[in-house]
Structure 1
């Protein structure tokens, strides 16, 4: 048999550094601060809704775009919380996690040679998906100096006649950076007269501290140009349920739905019933978990700064992104040495692109006891390498 030939674009995808560290999280001898997953169980009333659907025999296929009841709840939630109105019949689609929504958006929008502007450091999935579409990622480097925000000047410099899409991810993974409505207005001024679409990954919209979440879709003239992606994993501690959604114009959603229907047919039925309950009655759960993350956030940032690792206070998500350049080590060497000597796993910043070099990502989606022990080991490590 001749050697099997595979899709050539697969060989262009960078090695998944993050996945190596995520595997370490399963090692009981390792104290991991690497996984971006809530440590809380899915709230009982949400689990019960799924159990009820099973017991009632509601286990059949649903419409490809998801249960209309769930889409109506998503519509109501977007209106109530974000003052954005989407038609549940034509402008909302339920997906297998926010990740599938991202994939469907890229596949629907991109042709070979199109350019996609990314705000870096960036979530690791974006570049591989762009490569698989034959498109080109154009990174914009952000820094801690301004909270890892995109500026109108940087965006203008990155735009070319090949630019098709701008990807936004605020609150940000990995930096915890947040954009305000005023920040988005400046970006919208650049985009309004251009044929550039926006994919806005807002999966951490409920995990924001001290300020109100903003979306570029709220800016005048931007809703129809924006593919807004969100989900249930982070807000409701539902990572394993694989439930997300996308809101956009009927034209864009119609084309995304072609890929979606052929790739997965429909989202998981049981998860959708759980999602309905989450949206109806889950606000108190969100507040409780957010308050816990906030407590951990303040502890982590305070300890990191005191041990000589400058860390801007993250305003969203559940990540801290300290500057480790004072250690004299690269991001990868820092993480490798910390793992080998202290059995603590964190993610090297360059896993999120070249702009992340000199940083590491700490997740504080762990118990306080777990976090304190990991920070104690980190402090001992820092004292040893000084």
Structure 2
């Protein structure tokens, strides 16, 4: 709620658009309910039911199909020769579907919603025609006392009609808002440097809504090991992860410093700065599954600097953590890279890296809080409850 109030009072575009969708849908429902037309209200309610069922079916079906699509596309790789912009865009889309589980889920959900909505409309059309004919015959019998004018509704009936219309209108608005968030998610993933992407990604309301919308896949992503290097790779990888990068990353490249200052320019506290950077790094840097697999299967480790990660927008946990640390220091924050084991009881644990940042605590004293930007696309991993059960630091 606090993020909504802040977003609206600061005229955050995403929050204002979602609020407008909700309000327009609610007013639409109240108007339909107040019209006194039983037929008109029925069709509005009927449309809301079909919308809700289609959304729920798409939500669940996308989660089931996501791993199947990933397997089918796993062998697709961009051509090594130079290609045109359209072909390049196509391979970017396909490889993103293959490697990025949450992007794949968002695309599938939007496509499946359109399919289910179309199918529901076709299947329901006989019922709608029957109701329409029934309403027409009834109207002709009523003659000048047509129910469309609502004069035959008792006050209590009209109130109930408005309430029903308002509830269905709220459902319309919620579904439309979630679909908008999915569209914004797909767009900002495909065009990380595109127009409006910065505004979208910086929205607290968008971050919260996308986490809720993609929660089924987020949980499954971690349950299937997620962005954690497998424990089977042994002690050598642990030593690599545990390297100390404070000296190596001491110099902050100008482009990273400029980006960090731009991301935190509207933050007024250290916590707001830390959260803004967490969102930026967590939504801009995709997990480099090829790098992880290359080490796990062939023992080949690709060392990269924070600037490499910043430019390529790819990295594993240590790369993401190092970039976050450099950007945090550029913003005047005290930060450190933490190494250890990450995972869940269901998935098992593997070598992992994350960050801790020093901010002012609720009692006015500085405290260190943990965050995991590598896992940011699978939920809120900025100092959540139970963080210590999924992230075990090395002694």
TM-score range, shorter chain: under 0.3
Taking CA–CA contacts closer than 8 Å with sequence separation of 6 or more, which of the two structures ends up with the larger relative contact order?
1
Query: Radius of gyration: which is bigger?
Result: 2
Structure 1 length normalisation: TM-score?
0.24
- Report the TM-score, using the length of structure 2 for normalisation: 0.23
